[in-house]
Amino acid sequence: MHSGSRTQCTGRYLVMIGLAVASAVGGSQAVANDSVNTGYFGGVAIMGYDTVAYFTEGKATKGSDKISYEWMGTPWHFANNKHREMFMSEPLKYAPQYGGYCAGEVSGGSVTVNIDPEAFKIVEGKLYLMYDKADAEGFAAHPADTVAKADAKWPKVAADLELDQYH
C-alpha cells in the first residue's frame, strides 16, 4: 500500500453515533469533522465526485457544486437531482466506506488524503475508494481480507484523526 503523506480519520463507530445524532437534529446539521475525506484543499466529499454514480453508472462521475447536499458537516456533489435525492434518503447505502479514505491504507492502520476517484471497488454493496489503481488491484485480489483488516483498524485510525483535528 502507499506510504506517502498520511492523515487520520474518525472511527466508524463514532461516525455511526454521529449519524444517529445528526438524524435526530435534522440530518445536515452535523458538526464538521474529519470523518469524511475532503482532500487537502477541496472542502468537498470525495473530491466532488458523485458517490451514487459509482452504483448507478459503475464509474467515477464528477458531481456539480450546484447539485449538492450537506451530510456529516461536509458538502457532497451529485451529477443530477435524482442521485442527490437517492443519497438524501439513504446516505449510508451510498457513502464510501471509511469516510472515503483509501481502504487499503486503512487496512494498514493509517490513511492518506489522496484518492484516485477512478480507483474504486464495490464489494457486497459497499463502495471502497483507493489511493490509486495499484491499490484497487491489490484490494481486488483479497477484498475480504482487506475489509476485515480495515474494519478492525478503522476505530483507532478514526479516533486518532478526531484527536488530530484539534492540534
**Residues 9-21 pLDDT 10s:** 333 333 333 433 3
**Number of domains forming the structure of the chain:** 1
Q: 69 lies in a domain?
A: yes
**Residues 33-91 pLDDT 10s:** 567 888 766 789 999 999 999 999 999 999 999 999 999 889 999 999 999 999 999 99
Q: 1 lies in a domain?
A: no
> Structural domain of residue 73, as residue ranges?
12-164
C-alpha cell at 135: 491499490
Instruction: Say what the pLDDT of residue 163 is.
Output: 55
The DSSP symbol for 129 reads E
Instruction: Say what the pLDDT of residue 39 is.
Output: 75
Q: 29 lies in a domain?
A: yes
For residue 49, what are the β-bridge partners?
Answer: 62
Q: Side chain identity at 106, as an amino acid letter?
A: V
Instruction: Say what the pLDDT of residue 66 is.
Output: 98
Which stretches does DSSP call E strand in the chain? 64-71, 74-78, 116-123, 126-130
Q: 7 lies in a domain?
A: no
For residue 1, what pLDDT band results from cuts at 50, 70 and 90? low
Instruction: Say what the pLDDT of residue 34 is.
Output: 64
The DSSP symbol for 132 reads S
The DSSP symbol for 97 reads G
Q: 111 lies in a domain?
A: yes
Q: 3 lies in a domain?
A: no
Q: 5 lies in a domain?
A: no
Q: 4 lies in a domain?
A: no
| Residue 66: partners with Cβ closer than 8 Å, 6 or more residues away | none
